[in-house]
Amino acid sequence: MRAAVYRSTGSAAEVLRIEDLPTPEPGPGQVRVRLVVSGVNPTDWRLRSGATAMAPVAGFQVPNQDGAGVVDAVGPGVDPARVGERVWLYLAAFGNPYGTAAEYTVVPQERAVPLPDGVAFDLGANLGVPALTAHRCLHADGPVEGRTVLVAGGAGAVGHFAIELARAAGATVVATVSGPEKAALATAAGAHHVVNYRSGDPAAEIRAAAPDGVDRIVEVALADNLALDLAVAAPHASIVTYAADAKQPALPVRELMVRNLVLRFMLLYSVPPDALARAVAEVSAALAEGVLTPLPAHRFTLDDTAAAHDAVQSGAVGKVLIDI
Ligand SMILES: NC(=O)c1ccc[n+]([C@@H]2O[C@H](COP(=O)([O-])OP(=O)(O)OC[C@H]3O[C@@H](n4cnc5c(N)ncnc54)[C@H](OP(=O)(O)O)[C@@H]3O)[C@@H](O)[C@H]2O)c1
């Protein structure tokens, strides 16, 4: 099969090559998926660059956690009726050399989730990392029905699904963005209120939309936004951080204590297994109900996997997809 491969970490241009690899055979409990679309996330370029480390499991790594395709073979212990099933994938490259930037991958069968009839492969390839992260950030501290959720960076991939899942779960959603293009994306995703965090008085605007304060904050930039979060958080609110940038926050402990706030951190790779299973099930249900949509796509070919990684690294607005 043709695959994008790296054998050491470094810049995309230096280490990513398109190679012919033996097509993998599914082992016990695994399915083999013929990929149609691979979705690229920040974690994919970070792992490839060496900025974050993951223990290597083979002498090579096909990058990318997310994708969508069709099951074409199953290993021992897997229902043969799954052959021909359309699926979306999550954590394909986690503990596995076969990520989704290739014609085929083999994954544990639970990481290949049925894609409902009529749902495009593109949407399937948008889901994995962003939608499961958004689900966990929203729901780790209890139901959000009737609550107010603040989604920082509402036009990002995680922010997009946080808005859609929160709204579908019955929350009032306030999203922050940096400008009009991103405001349009957050509004299209269903945010009830969209606030520019770079201009005017964002705390006052959020307070106007949520006079009693916000109950849950899905936070992409804790160090930058902690003061804003504290200015708008209701008593007992949770601030759930899923991104680690270089800047470290200074914690105003007393201020956090007085309102009994919860500061939670979330990494998809180590989410408790029951929470991950619940996220997969509830994202699937939302998909079947038609409440999830893809972000505008930036399309690349498999030959251009390095350029696709660079596009994500340079902050492409929307979703970077690779057509296999
Ligand atoms: N913990 C996990 O398991 C996990 C899972 C998924 C992603 N992540 C990490 O989370 C980050 C975002 O991922 P993504 O896929 O959603 O990326 P993305 O699609 O590039 O979105 C990031 C969004 O954050 C916004 N943003 C940046 N600084 C901000 C600030 N100070 N306040 C409000 N918004 C801000 C950006 O827009 P503006 O700059 O224009 O505001 C952009 O819309 C990445 O660092 C990624 O590695 C972690």
pLDDT tens digit string along 263-296? 999 999 999 999 999 999 999 999 999 999 999 9
pLDDT one-digit tens code per residue, 150-206:
999 999 999 999 999 999 999 999 999 999 999 999 999 999 999 999 999 999 999
Closest protein CA for atom 41 of ligand 1: 178
Cα 267 to ligand 1 centre (Å)? 13
Angle, helices 157-168 vs 273-288, to 10°: value is 70
- How far away, in angstroms, is 156 Cα from ligand 1 center? 6
- d(CA 32, ligand 1 centre) in Å: 31
Joined together, the tokens standing for residue 318 give: 């929307």
Q: Check pocket membership of 96 for ligand 1, CB cut-off 6 A.
A: no
**Ligand 1 atom with minimal separation from the 156 CA:** 21
CA of 30 to the centre of ligand 1 (A): 32
Question: If you take atom 47 of ligand 1, which residue's CA is the nearest one?
Answer: 42
pTM of the model: 0.98
Mean pLDDT along residues 229-242: 98
**H helices within 10-88, ranges in order?**
12-15, 42-49
Regarding the beta carbon of 153 and ligand 1, being less than 6 Å apart is answered yes
Q: Is the CB of 276 under 6 A from ligand 1?
A: no
89 neighbors 102 (Cβ within 8 angstroms): no
- Closest atom of ligand 1 relative to the 312 alpha carbon: 20
Report the nearest-CA residue for atom 9 of ligand 1.
243
Which pLDDT does position 246 carry in this prediction? 83
Q: Does the structure show a pLDDT above 70 at 10? A: yes
| C-alpha Rg value of the chain to the nearest Å | 20
Take residue 82 and report the two structure tokens written for it.
């799954």
- The tens digit of pLDDT for each residue in 198-209 reads 999 999 999 999
Ligand 1 near 158 CB (within 6 A):
yes
Half-sphere exposure of 221 (CA within 13 A, CB side): 13
Encode pLDDT of 98-138 as tens digits: 999 999 999 999 999 999 999 999 999 999 999 999 999 99
Atom of ligand 1 nearest to the CA of 316: 20
Is the pLDDT at 53 greater than 80, yes or no?
Answer: no
